[in-house]
Amino acid sequence: MAASRQAAPAFVRLAGHPLRWQLLAELAHSDLRVRELVTLVGQPQNLVSYHLRLLRDGGLVTATRSSFDGRDSYYHLDLDRCAHALAGAGTALHPALRLDSTTPASPVHPRRLPRRTVLFVCTGNSARSPIAEALLRQHTAGRAKVMSAGSRPRPRLHPHTLRVLQEHFGVDVAAQHPRHLDTLTGRRFDFVITLCDKAREVCLEFGDHPRLLHWSVPDPTAAGNSEQASYFAFTRTAADIETRVRHLLPVLATTNPKEVEP
């Protein structure tokens, strides 16, 4: 009888509220700003901000200051934390519902992936977008056609981009060079994913209305005053992008981009 009087797990209390569930569902697709969430859920900004604060306090959602407009913030859903919390909620209800939360999102075998075309965009195309390009290509064993570009590309890839991909993922991109976004005008993509807030504001229009997603990832080239601190920033960035790429795989496998409004 004592067990029946136990409070519902924190995840259930947080996610069970209709508006908070709506916010989680929107953030599951893309990092978004408050005003964008207000439009999507059709609720007043003060109410949306209040529930976002509860989700942040509960550890399900994080916020990063926009690199384009420092007065704004992008909200991001921590899908791994949600998976752990959901597994814990099932166990709390009954041991038979125990899920293995120690394993990240179930891997998707490359052969199960339809042939998607994906473009990653950041400003310089020297760090974040080439890292994402390389990791998605690796995870899909080349089945997805992946490219990256920048709105203001640098002359060459950052040395730490080469190093972190080689040392942590065994990927060699030494022969790759930054590409300007303008060179892809008229190209068709199923998914266009921006990784920096500046690039999101200037991203070109693409034919056939690709699914547009945003990952608000801080620029590692702007971090650290020493070589060691700079490289550590790149390792954090690569780990963040690798997690996001891993969560993207089931979306590529199951989602028809044309069925979802950008």
For every residue of 173-185, DSSP letters joined together read -TT----BGGGGT
* CATH class of the domain defined by 3-97: mainly alpha
Nearest to 139 by CA among 153, 122, 157, 118: 118
pLDDT of 87 over the 50 cut: yes
Nearest to 202 by CA among 150, 154, 155, 156: 150
**Digit-coded pLDDT (tens) for 89-98:** 888 888 788 7
**What is the overall mean pLDDT for the chain?**
89
Delimit the domains of the chain by residue range: 3-97, 110-259
Residue 231 pLDDT grade (very low, low, confident, very high; cuts 50, 70, 90): very high
* Total H helices, total E strands in the chain: 9, 6
Architecture of domain 110-259: 3-Layer(aba) Sandwich (3.40)
Nearest to 11 by CA among 76, 75, 83, 89: 89
pTM (2 d.p.):
0.88
- Under DSSP, the state recorded for 232 is H
Whole-angstrom distance, CA of residue 53 vs CA of residue 39: 18
Structure tokens at 17: 């509220």
- Scan for tokens 């473009």, then name that residue: 119
Q: Are strands 73-77 and 117-122 parallel, antiparallel or unpaired?
A: unpaired
> When comparing pLDDT for 27 and 67, which is higher?
27
For residues 194, 197, 202, 208, the Cα torsion angle rounded to the nearest 10 degrees is 30
pLDDT of residue 71: 87
Structure tokens at 228: 């060691």
> When comparing pLDDT for 1 and 228, which is higher?
228
CA dihedral over 218, 222, 225, 228, signed as positive or negative: positive
pLDDT of residue 133: 98
**Digit-coded pLDDT (tens) for 64-75:** 999 888 889 999
Q: Are strands 145-150 and 117-122 parallel, antiparallel or unpaired?
A: parallel
Judge whether 157 and 179 are in contact, CB under 8 Å: no
Strand partners, 193: 120, 213
Q: Tell me, rounded to whole angstroms, the distance of Cα 240 from its chain centroid.
A: 8
Structure tokens at 32: 């978004």
**Digit-coded pLDDT (tens) for 174-190:** 999 999 999 998 889 99
